């Protein structure tokens, strides 16, 4: 681990965004992960996305569980709210926080152990409930903190650093998320920020459960020949179905594309996703086709990346439950305790 603090000096021409912050203002503490960890690139992508979207750091809550991935919220958005929960329990803590204060931006960061093993149930219910959040799984296929055993997402037939072949079937987080009703599903690679940053931006703007599976090589235990989550393997087998340009409601559309190569998806809130097609006939809004396509490509050994599925008319948990429109902390004592007359009324309505 690096002993010195990252120097606060920054490039003299470092630009400021609309809310007056430089990209450096979105950083956290210096990473204590192994040098070269893919997770650090994901942190850098989150920083970049938040800066580009002019997000006020104090309007973000970042939550995580346990593991290498779950340490990372300490390394980005140093001025945001943070909660480092119990192993695998990030989704329920986040759901609670979201119900209490719907106005914050919720970012859940988890790993393959945290979400695919101990927290699989939590993950499932969070997706099906449509909690309005960005759910990032930093997926490296191994338990790095305990010296590199296979995790539940490790591909069958892949080889560990010590030469053992994995005999168990992998859990496909993307497939699960699609089945469980996530309204935004993407997959990316920590070594491809050009793809990852717009994905995170679109996920932030998306209303509902936005899930991104990010393949993130573990340099210490899973970056060798025979691994299916190494830098080299992912680069060789990466099949991006599309390239995403994320445009907020307020932005002007300036880019020009050849006709027939772009699909425009207008979301509920007015923001626009422009998908430059890389795969023929790929329709990111057709859930059944997407699930079939992913199964086919996975059987070919490809790692399909991009914005895989989006439901432009998504709803979130608050809409399902018809909750109050304001955060609970804005209510005064009179709202919360409306008195005997009101109590009588409510009781009467239930008789």
Give the footprint of other proteins on this chain (CB under 8 A): 1-14, 24, 30-31, 34-38, 40-41, 43-44, 190-191, 193, 217, 219, 223, 231-232, 235
CB of 255 to other proteins, least distance (A): 17
* Orientation of helix 173-180 relative to helix 287-299, angle to 10°: 160
CB of 194 to other proteins, least distance (A): 11
At residue 109, the 3 state secondary structure works out as: strand
Q: Indicate the residue among 91 and 198 with the shorter CB distance to other proteins.
A: 198
* Min separation Cβ 72 and other proteins, Å: 12
State in angstroms the smallest separation of the CB of 297 from other proteins: 22
Q: Quick check: 104 and 81 in contact, CB under 8 A? A: yes
Between 6 and 345, whose beta carbon lies closer to other proteins? Answer: 6
Which H or E element spans position 277? Answer: strand 272-277
Minimum CB separation from other proteins for residue 9, in Å?
5
Using the structure block, give the residue that is written with the tokens 């599976």: 213
Nearer to other proteins, 120 or 145 (CB): 145
Alpha-carbon distances of 231 from 36, 140, 161, 305, rounded to whole Å: 11, 11, 14, 15
The minimum distance between CB 13 and other proteins, in angstroms, equals: 6
Nearer Cβ to other proteins, position 99 or 219? 219
Residues 211, 270, 243, 76: is their CA dihedral positive or negative?
Answer: negative
- For the chain, how far is it from start to end, CA to CA, in angstroms? 65
Question: Could you tell me the smallest distance in angstroms from the CB atom of residue 291 to other proteins?
Answer: 31
Least Å distance, CB 119 to other proteins, is 27
| Pick 34 or 120: Cβ nearer other proteins | 34
Nearer to other proteins, 232 or 335 (CB): 232
Q: Which residue's CB is nearer to other proteins, number 35 or number 342?
A: 35
Return the number of the residue (51 or 123) whose C-beta is nearest other proteins: 51
């Amino acid at each position: 681990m690096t002993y010195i603090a990252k120097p606060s000096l920054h490039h003299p021409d470092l630009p400021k965004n609309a809310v007056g912050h430089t990209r450096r203002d979105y950083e956290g503490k210096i990473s204590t992960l192994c040098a070269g960890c893919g997770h650090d690139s994901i942190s850098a992508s989150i920083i970049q996305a938040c800066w580009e979207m002019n997000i006020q750091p104090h309007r973000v809550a970042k939550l995580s569980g346990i593991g290498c991935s779950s340490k990372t919220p300490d390394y980005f958005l140093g001025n945001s709210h943070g909660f480092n929960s119990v192993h695998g329990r990030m989704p329920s803590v986040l759901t609670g926080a979201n119900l209490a204060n719907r106005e914050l931006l919720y970012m859940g960061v988890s790993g393959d152990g945290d979400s695919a093993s101990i927290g699989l149930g939590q993950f499932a219910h969070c997706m099906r409930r449509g909690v309005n959040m960005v759910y990032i799984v930093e997926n490296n296929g191994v338990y790095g903190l305990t010296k590199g055993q296979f995790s539940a997402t490790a591909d069958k037939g892949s080889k560990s650093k010590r030469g053992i072949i994995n005999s168990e079937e992998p859990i496909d987080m993307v497939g699960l998320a699609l089945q469980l009703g996530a309204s935004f599903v993407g997959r990316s690679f920590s070594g491809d920020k050009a793809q990852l940053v717009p994905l995170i931006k679109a996920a932030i703007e998306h209303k509902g459960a936005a899930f991104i599976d990010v393949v993130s090589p573990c340099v210490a235990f899973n970056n060798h020949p025979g691994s299916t989550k190494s830098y080299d393997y992912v680069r060789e087998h990466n099949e991006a179905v599309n390239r995403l340009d994320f445009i907020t409601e307020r932005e002007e559309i300036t880019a020009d594309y050849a006709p027939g190569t772009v699909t425009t998806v207008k979301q509920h809130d007015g923001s626009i996703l422009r998908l430059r097609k890389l795969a023929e006939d790929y329709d990111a809004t057709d859930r059944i086709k997407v699930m079939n396509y992913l199964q086919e490509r996975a059987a070919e050994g490809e790692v399909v990346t991009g914005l895989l599925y989006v439901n432009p008319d998504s709803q979130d948990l608050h809409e399902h439950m018809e909750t109050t429109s304001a955060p609970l902390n804005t209510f005064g004592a009179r709202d919360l305790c409306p008195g005997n007359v009101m109590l009588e009324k409510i009781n009467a309505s239930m008789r």
